[in-house]
Structure 1
Amino acid sequence: MLHFAHYGSAMEIKQLEVFLAVMSAGSITAAARLLDRSQSQVTRLIQELESSVGFALFDRNGPRITPTSRAVAFHSDAERFLTGIGQLKERARNILSEEPAPIEIAAIPAFASGLVPLALAEMPADLLPRNVHLRSISAEAAVQSALARTADFCVASLPVEHPGLDVHGLFQAPCVAAVAADDPLAGKDIISVRDLADRCLITMANPFRLRRRVNQALQAADVRPSRVVDTNAALNALQLASTGFGVSIVEPATAYGLQLKNVEIRPLDVDIPFLWGIFSAASKPLSEGVLELIQLIIRMSAARIPGFVAHDPGHIERVADATFGAGANAQEQ
């Protein structure tokens, strides 16, 4: 993780704002329109930021600009920093007006798109502040947000190992298959891995997590799909399955947290475990509303996900090692 102190004291927030605008808009001209600044002002602030960080942020070819590899690496930290500044300003306004602080949630897409919104909808009105921020990001970024305290808590897939985290829950459930409603496999109560022979398989891309365990199940059954399509989000896999394009193997949070048309969810005849947890920065005081939301997410998960198992939060390393193997450290969606 980058620390802005490393770049010198000359860096200013307005320079970072301009940088993010250019990255988002794709050009100096479009960024100038977004910020209501002149193109010359935007160009000057970018040049000042480049001078401050010590490396080029954009390659220039006439009016066209392309982010450098260093700009791409710098982008997520700049975005996280400015998000934190914005949250700090909002918190100051809340203190001044004596309003409850916003709830800040960082969650992997599997939960941000389904179960967290369902839990939010069940929140008591007196515990729900005026502002709630829900970010759908990778497990690694979600954990970093919790550690940096730009999120009150995060929902992330395992493995997650960091001494600076409090564990509010550690859970497991089996992955499932998804097929179009008119697919012949939709008529089965349980889909076998052998049913995937000569079918198009749609699954996750990360080779160290779910994809690895799917591959192991296929190898154990000596099954070879006709085609494999992978993606970084289970929602994409479900959408593809709904078209009849193939059979999807996905984690259960998205499968049971969302209600998609023309998709049937079925258990598999092999256990491909999906593990996740809810984490916050160690010793960070959490409001009554945040604690209630965490419990609602847990209750919603237990009610909607078949095969839901809650593990002892104190055994996170033991559970992760048993499932992924010692030393596993990759992050997935």
Structure 2
Amino acid sequence: MNLRQLEAFRATIRCGSITGAAEMMHVSQPSVSRLIADLERSVGFALFQRNGRGLIPTVEARTFYQAVEGMFVGVDRLQDLADSIRTTSGGVVSVGTIQSISTIELPRAVNSLIQRYPDIRVMIHARNTPAILDAVQLHQFDLGVVGRQPPYDGVETLFQTAAPYVCLMPEDHPLVGLAGPVDLEILAEQEDFVTFGGAFPDAMMSMDSSLSQRLQSRSRLSSTNMPVAAALVRETGVLAIADPFSAEQAVRMGGVAFRPILQNLTYYVSIVCGGRARLSRQAAEFSEILAEQLDQRVKLANSFSSGS
């Protein structure tokens, strides 16, 4: 026997006729008759006796029906549970994020999520990449938005992309408004730069070592994060090498602008989790929303860099 046969049997009992059962199941009358006949062969006894134009359940059928009805009550409860899970707007999504994504792209994604789920709660933790990766591995965060070049050990990568670094400068700098990328080889001989902890991020180590040394030699200012670096650019007139996300944040704060860089310096961003199977539906959707936004933002950054 199978579930469809039992469904036809249950519908026929309830309606008292093959015609009514067919209407309830949205199938033809011959289909219901065939299902009932197949079920009778399977159980080994008759289920109905004809009485004029109707059907009367046999004694055996009435006993059998009690068990079938109990089974369908369980199925109905499962459907109710599934409906509840599907339509719930509650729950919590926790996200660890690097600073460059925390003030523009991430809030946009959060807004999209809370519009879909009015009762959802979202917890944002701004940390550096190693701390985020550790927390995701320990399942302290549902999702992590991290930098540095993949792969990342101990986590599953849901999305990854890369964008070119840009040169951040005061908005009244002579280079602002000129066409094309700036050449760091030339700027290294003319301009002072903000470094990060006295050097440049590991993700920028594709930079020629001699160029890196020359830029560092002209640096009297150092910062451990981009907002501070941008403030130094704004107030002191020095330049900085910035990822495009942080550069956009800095421009919105005012007083600075950015230009594309001739050298190929790549900034990596990825969305990771402790395992796709552990994600709630809301967390998975949030990852998809943010990934789409980052993808669009990187396309703009690449377009800006290429001058198209």
Q: Given the superposition, is the C-alpha separation of residues 200 and 281 from structure 1 closer, same or farther in structure 2, using an over 3 Å criterion?
A: same
Q: Given the superposition, is the C-alpha separation of residues 128 and 174 from structure 1 closer, same or farther in structure 2, using an over 3 Å criterion?
A: farther
Q: 1:171 aligns with which of 146, 150, 161?
A: 161
Q: Which amino acid aligns with 1:267?
A: P
2:288 aligned with 1:288, yes or no? no
2:254 aligned with 1:253, yes or no? no
Q: Which amino acid aligns with 2:281?
A: E
Q: 2:223 aligns with which of 208, 228, 231?
A: 231
TM-score by length of 1: 0.56
- Pairs within 5 Å for 1:48-197: 100-127=90-117, 129-189=119-179, 190-193=181-184, 194-197=186-189
Q: Given the superposition, is the C-alpha separation of residues 136 and 307 from structure 1 closer, same or farther in structure 2, using an over 3 Å criterion?
A: same
Which deviates more, 177-186 or 278-287?
278-287
Q: Given the superposition, is the C-alpha separation of residues 281 and 244 from structure 1 closer, same or farther in structure 2, using an over 3 Å criterion?
A: same
> Quick one: distance in 2 between partners of 1:149 and 1:281?
6
| Deviation sequence 1:254-292 (CA, Å, 0-9, x none) | 113552211112101111111121100024432232222
Deviation at 1:210, TM superposition (A): 3.9
Contact 2:193 2:215 in 1 (8 A): no
> Quick one: distance in 2 between partners of 1:207 and 1:181?
23
Deviation at 1:304, TM superposition (A): 2.6
| Deviation sequence 1:48-91 (CA, Å, 0-9, x none) | xxxxxxxxxxxxxxxxxxxxxxxxxxxxxxxxxxxxxxxxxxxx
Contact 2:204 2:265 in 1 (8 A): no
> Quick one: distance in 2 between partners of 1:224 and 1:164?
34
2:167 aligned with 1:198, yes or no? no
> Quick one: distance in 1 between partners of 2:217 and 2:177?
20
Aligned residue for 1:299? 292
Secondary structure at the counterpart of residue 133 of structure 1: strand
> Quick one: distance in 2 between partners of 1:264 and 1:156?
25
State the structure with more CA Rg.
2
> Quick one: distance in 2 between partners of 1:117 and 1:146?
20
Structure 2 spans left out of the alignment, 5+ residues? 1-87, 304-308
RMSD: 2.9
> Quick one: distance in 2 between partners of 1:183 and 1:253?
21
Aligned residue for 1:82? none
Q: Given the superposition, is the C-alpha separation of residues 173 and 198 from structure 1 closer, same or farther in structure 2, using an over 3 Å criterion?
A: same
Aligned residue for 1:278? 271
> Quick one: distance in 2 between partners of 1:178 and 1:217?
21
Q: Which amino acid aligns with 1:180?
A: P
Deviation at 1:140, TM superposition (A): 0.6
More helix by share: 2
Deviation at 1:131, TM superposition (A): 2.2
Q: Given the superposition, is the C-alpha separation of residues 191 and 115 from structure 1 closer, same or farther in structure 2, using an over 3 Å criterion?
A: same
Deviation at 1:139, TM superposition (A): 0.3
> Quick one: distance in 1 between partners of 2:89 and 2:108?
24
Deviation at 1:253, TM superposition (A): 2.1
Contact 1:166 1:280 in 2 (8 A): yes
> Quick one: distance in 2 between partners of 1:137 and 1:143?
10
Deviation at 1:308, TM superposition (A): 5.2
Q: Which amino acid aligns with 2:296?
A: A
> Quick one: distance in 2 between partners of 1:175 and 1:184?
20
Deviation at 1:125, TM superposition (A): 1.6
Contact 2:149 2:203 in 1 (8 A): no
Q: Percent identity?
A: 14
> Quick one: distance in 2 between partners of 1:172 and 1:272?
10
Contact 1:175 1:267 in 2 (8 A): yes
Aligned residue for 1:315? none
TM-score by length of 2: 0.60
Aligned residue for 2:62? none
Deviation at 1:177, TM superposition (A): 0.6
Secondary structure at the counterpart of residue 175 of structure 2: helix
> Quick one: distance in 2 between partners of 1:209 and 1:302?
23
Q: How many residues align?
A: 212
